Amino acid sequence: MPATQTQATNTRRIDVAALFELPPGTRTFVQVGRNRVGVFNIAGTIYAALDVCPHERAPVCQGRCGGTNRPSGVGSFDWDAAGCVLACPWHGWEFDLRDGKSLHDPRCRLKTYRTVIEDGRVYLMVP
Ligand code: FES
Protein backbone atom coordinates (compact mmCIF):
# COMPACT_ATOMS: atom_id res chain seq x y z
CA MET A 1 0.00 0.00 0.00
CA PRO A 2 1.88 3.07 -1.20
CA ALA A 3 1.70 6.26 0.83
CA THR A 4 2.60 9.71 -0.40
CA GLN A 5 3.34 12.78 1.67
CA THR A 6 1.78 16.12 0.76
CA GLN A 7 4.22 18.91 1.57
CA ALA A 8 1.69 21.69 2.18
CA THR A 9 -0.20 19.92 4.96
CA ASN A 10 2.26 17.27 6.07
CA THR A 11 -0.53 14.73 5.61
CA ARG A 12 0.11 11.23 4.34
CA ARG A 13 -2.15 9.97 1.61
CA ILE A 14 -2.63 6.22 1.79
CA ASP A 15 -3.99 4.27 -1.15
CA VAL A 16 -6.90 2.16 0.13
CA ALA A 17 -8.46 0.53 -2.93
CA ALA A 18 -10.04 1.13 -6.29
CA LEU A 19 -13.51 2.59 -5.78
CA PHE A 20 -15.11 -0.37 -7.60
CA GLU A 21 -13.54 -2.67 -5.00
CA LEU A 22 -15.44 -0.82 -2.26
CA PRO A 23 -19.04 -0.65 -3.48
CA PRO A 24 -21.82 0.93 -1.37
CA GLY A 25 -22.59 -1.11 1.73
CA THR A 26 -19.12 -2.57 2.04
CA ARG A 27 -16.06 -1.83 4.14
CA THR A 28 -12.40 -2.62 4.14
CA PHE A 29 -9.52 -2.19 6.54
CA VAL A 30 -6.18 -0.46 6.16
CA GLN A 31 -3.16 -0.80 8.40
CA VAL A 32 -1.68 2.59 9.32
CA GLY A 33 1.45 1.98 11.35
CA ARG A 34 0.30 0.03 14.40
CA ASN A 35 -3.32 1.08 13.93
CA ARG A 36 -6.06 -0.40 11.83
CA VAL A 37 -8.56 1.90 10.14
CA GLY A 38 -11.98 0.88 8.84
CA VAL A 39 -12.99 2.44 5.52
CA PHE A 40 -16.71 2.37 4.72
CA ASN A 41 -18.74 3.12 1.62
CA ILE A 42 -22.11 4.33 2.89
CA ALA A 43 -24.41 5.00 -0.08
CA GLY A 44 -21.51 6.26 -2.17
CA THR A 45 -19.80 8.40 0.47
CA ILE A 46 -16.55 7.13 1.95
CA TYR A 47 -15.95 7.36 5.70
CA ALA A 48 -13.00 6.16 7.75
CA ALA A 49 -12.50 5.56 11.46
CA LEU A 50 -9.87 4.12 13.74
CA ASP A 51 -10.79 0.54 14.58
CA VAL A 52 -10.63 1.16 18.33
CA CYS A 53 -13.72 1.85 20.41
CA PRO A 54 -13.20 4.66 22.95
CA HIS A 55 -15.10 2.63 25.56
CA GLU A 56 -12.96 -0.49 26.05
CA ARG A 57 -10.93 -0.61 22.82
CA ALA A 58 -13.03 -3.17 20.92
CA PRO A 59 -12.59 -3.46 17.13
CA VAL A 60 -15.51 -1.11 16.64
CA CYS A 61 -15.30 -1.07 12.84
CA GLN A 62 -16.48 -4.67 12.77
CA GLY A 63 -19.86 -3.55 14.09
CA ARG A 64 -23.06 -3.19 12.10
CA CYS A 65 -23.96 0.03 10.33
CA GLY A 66 -27.49 1.34 10.61
CA GLY A 67 -29.43 4.47 11.38
CA THR A 68 -31.18 5.97 14.36
CA ASN A 69 -34.41 7.56 15.47
CA ARG A 70 -33.76 11.13 16.58
CA PRO A 71 -35.75 12.57 19.47
CA SER A 72 -39.18 13.47 18.19
CA GLY A 73 -42.71 13.98 19.35
CA VAL A 74 -44.93 11.24 20.72
CA GLY A 75 -46.10 8.96 17.92
CA SER A 76 -43.68 10.32 15.33
CA PHE A 77 -40.43 8.79 14.21
CA ASP A 78 -37.54 10.84 12.83
CA TRP A 79 -35.29 8.29 11.11
CA ASP A 80 -31.84 9.75 10.46
CA ALA A 81 -28.28 8.93 9.52
CA ALA A 82 -29.22 5.82 7.52
CA GLY A 83 -26.19 3.54 7.31
CA CYS A 84 -23.93 6.01 9.12
CA VAL A 85 -24.42 4.78 12.68
CA LEU A 86 -21.75 2.26 13.62
CA ALA A 87 -22.58 0.05 16.61
CA CYS A 88 -19.68 -1.39 18.57
CA PRO A 89 -19.88 -5.21 18.60
CA TRP A 90 -18.95 -5.48 22.29
CA HIS A 91 -21.41 -3.28 24.21
CA GLY A 92 -23.40 -1.58 21.49
CA TRP A 93 -22.23 2.01 21.84
CA GLU A 94 -23.21 3.83 18.67
CA PHE A 95 -21.15 6.36 16.74
CA ASP A 96 -21.98 8.55 13.77
CA LEU A 97 -19.38 7.80 11.10
CA ARG A 98 -19.87 11.29 9.64
CA ASP A 99 -18.19 12.98 12.60
CA GLY A 100 -17.26 10.17 14.98
CA LYS A 101 -19.53 11.40 17.76
CA SER A 102 -21.19 8.97 20.12
CA LEU A 103 -24.96 9.13 19.89
CA HIS A 104 -25.39 8.99 23.67
CA ASP A 105 -22.57 11.37 24.59
CA PRO A 106 -21.23 13.66 21.84
CA ARG A 107 -18.14 14.38 24.00
CA CYS A 108 -17.09 10.76 23.36
CA ARG A 109 -15.99 10.14 19.81
CA LEU A 110 -14.29 7.79 17.43
CA LYS A 111 -11.21 9.05 15.69
CA THR A 112 -12.22 9.66 12.10
CA TYR A 113 -10.14 10.39 9.01
CA ARG A 114 -10.69 12.38 5.87
CA THR A 115 -10.88 10.41 2.64
CA VAL A 116 -10.42 11.43 -0.97
CA ILE A 117 -11.52 9.79 -4.21
CA GLU A 118 -9.23 10.56 -7.12
CA ASP A 119 -8.89 8.88 -10.49
CA GLY A 120 -11.15 6.05 -9.35
CA ARG A 121 -9.14 5.28 -6.23
CA VAL A 122 -9.94 5.79 -2.56
CA TYR A 123 -7.29 7.46 -0.41
CA LEU A 124 -7.09 7.86 3.34
CA MET A 125 -5.61 11.15 4.60
CA VAL A 126 -3.55 10.61 7.73
CA PRO A 127 -2.06 13.49 9.72
S1 FES B 1 -15.85 -1.59 23.79
FE2 FES B 1 -17.15 -0.56 22.41
S3 FES B 1 -18.97 -0.26 23.49
FE4 FES B 1 -17.68 -1.22 24.89
Predicted pLDDT at 53: 97
Q: What is the value of pTM for the model shown?
A: 0.90
Residue burial 83-96, b: 16+ Cβ < 10 Å; e: rest = bbbbbbeeeebbbb
**Predicted confidence (pLDDT) per residue in 96-119, tens digit:** 999 999 999 988 999 999 999 999
**Predicted confidence (pLDDT) per residue in 17-36, tens digit:** 999 999 999 999 999 999 99
For residues 53-71, average pLDDT: 95
Sequence spans of domains, the chain: 3-126
Is ligand 1 within 6 A of the CB of residue 95? no
Give the closest residue (by CA) to ligand 1 atom 1: 56
CA distance 93 to 88: 5
Is ligand 1 within 6 A of the CB of residue 22? no
- φ/ψ region of 74 (left if φ > 0, alpha if ψ in -120 to 50, else beta) reads beta
Ligand 1: nearest atom to the Cα of 92: 3
At the topology level, CATH places domain 3-126 in Rieske Iron-sulfur Protein (2.102.10)
